[in-house]
Amino acid sequence: MPSRLKCKLCLWQTSALSAHGQDFADVNDHAFLAIAIACLNAQLNDPAVDFQCKHFKIFCSAQCFCLESPFQTHPRAVKSVLLPDFLLPNIIPRQLNKRARDGHSFQMAPAMIDPALFEELKTKIEEDTAVRKELDRIIDDLSQQVSFTQGVLSRIHSTPRSKYSVLLPQVEDGIRKEIQCVGTLSAFASQNPYYKYNYKWVRTVQEAISTNLLCAWLGGMGSETRPGEVGRLMTLEEVGAVFAVPVNLKDRDAFHITIEDYLLALINIIDELSRLAMNSVTMGDNELAVLISSFIKDLHAGFQVLNLKNDILRKRVDSIKYAVKKVEDVVYDLSLRNLIPAKMDE
């Protein structure tokens, strides 16, 4: 015995008129709302649901679905109705309005998109998220080591050059930990496309390179074949050898140090050395201030040779002129007071 349900749509019509200012007697509005109500009742284990009122007659069960209405001759497609997913395979439209009774059939449209597509995309997104999280962890470890090394290096502004032999070994200890972190980063990042993720580590790696360049310039990072000396500038290849990673790769997609990384790191130490020039005069080391001035001016001249485009590197290179002016002012004041050592004049 089918369940006989009272048509709530007839009861709603009066309130709908006052609320929306239009008549909801049209089957396009009522019938498809009734379909959803019928299916929800079928979901509650009713063997069949039967509606009949002045607006329409509808019968819905697990085997068939029938709709009759005296109003509409251009019915909507049944597929536009939002029905419970698990009921869709069992609902077979047999009649819909007068056109359906005249022999027209309205079949449910097949799915246009394979659900497996989004499952595959979901898997790829989860894999990408896992890679990013692991990179964040490795880069965070490297950032902590770089911050420690930078903290030790900042003491050069209050340490006489005669005490560098005590300070620089501490800096080198921090650099060795940086090298370990960069090795871990290189091993993991080389398993993935370089330019897809390099934005995450490029800034931290540049800072790590800067600590190496500055330590070497101050006389550290020496070896048995080449002892450390003040004013030494490490090349790009030497930096790559220290970190045990390739530089400026072009033949394969793997972690490497780019020319841009090296140049931006070099600009970073220019800012630090211009500050050291002023502090060295305060500590009575006028010779170091003059040496820094010559080094920065030579670097500035070298950067002018490069044909740089209008990007971040070009903007950073333009800032070198302020460091040049700062150290020139320091040397100018020393020369006015005849405080430049005689051997530096020569």
Q: What is the DSSP string of 73-124?
A: SSPPPGGGS---GGGGGG--EEEEHHHHHTT---PPPPPSS-HHHHHHHHHH
What is the torsion angle, in degrees rounded to the nearest 10, for the CA atoms of residue 29, residue 32, residue 37 and residue 38?
140
Using DSSP bridges, classify how beta strands 3-4 and 65-68 pair: parallel, antiparallel or unpaired.
unpaired
34: exposed, middle or buried (Cβ count in 10 Å: 0-12, 13-18, 19+): buried
DSSP labels, 318-344: HTHHHHHHHHHHHHHHHHHTT-S-HHH
User: Token pair for residue 30?
Assistant: 């009522």
pLDDT in tens, the chain (346 residues): 444 444 444 544 444 333 333 333 343 444 545 555 555 455 444 445 455 555 555 555 544 445 455 444 434 333 333 334 443 333 334 333 444 445 544 455 566 778 888 889 999 999 999 999 999 999 999 999 999 999 999 999 999 999 999 999 999 999 999 999 999 999 999 999 999 999 999 999 999 999 999 999 999 988 877 788 999 999 999 999 999 999 999 888 999 999 999 999 999 999 999 999 999 999 999 999 999 999 999 999 999 998 887 688 988 998 899 999 999 999 999 999 988 876 655 4
**Distances, alpha carbon 314 to alpha carbons 135, 205, 263, 310, 339, in Å:** 29, 19, 11, 6, 36
Q: Is 3 helix (H, G, I), strand (E, B) or coil?
A: strand
pTM: 0.67
Nearest CA-CA partner of 299 in 266, 264, 256: 266
Sign of CA dihedral 190, 193, 195, 201: negative
* Helices (H) then strands (E): counts for the chain: 13, 5
One-letter amino acid identity for 61? S
Contact 211, 178 (CB under 8 A): yes
Cα–Cα distance, 205 to 183 (Å, whole number):
11
What is the torsion angle, in degrees rounded to the nearest 10, for the CA atoms of residue 28, residue 30, residue 32 and residue 33?
140
Contact 58, 67 (CB under 8 A): yes
Q: What is the CA radius of gyration of the chain?
A: 39
> What is the structure's pLDDT at 154?
95
**Distances, alpha carbon 159 to alpha carbons 156, 279, 293, 326, in Å:** 5, 9, 19, 21
What backbone torsions phi and psi does residue 59 show, to the nearest 5 degrees?
Answer: -130, 130
- Domains of the chain from N-terminus onward: 3-101 (no CATH), 125-249 (1.20.58.190), 258-346 (1.20.58.200)
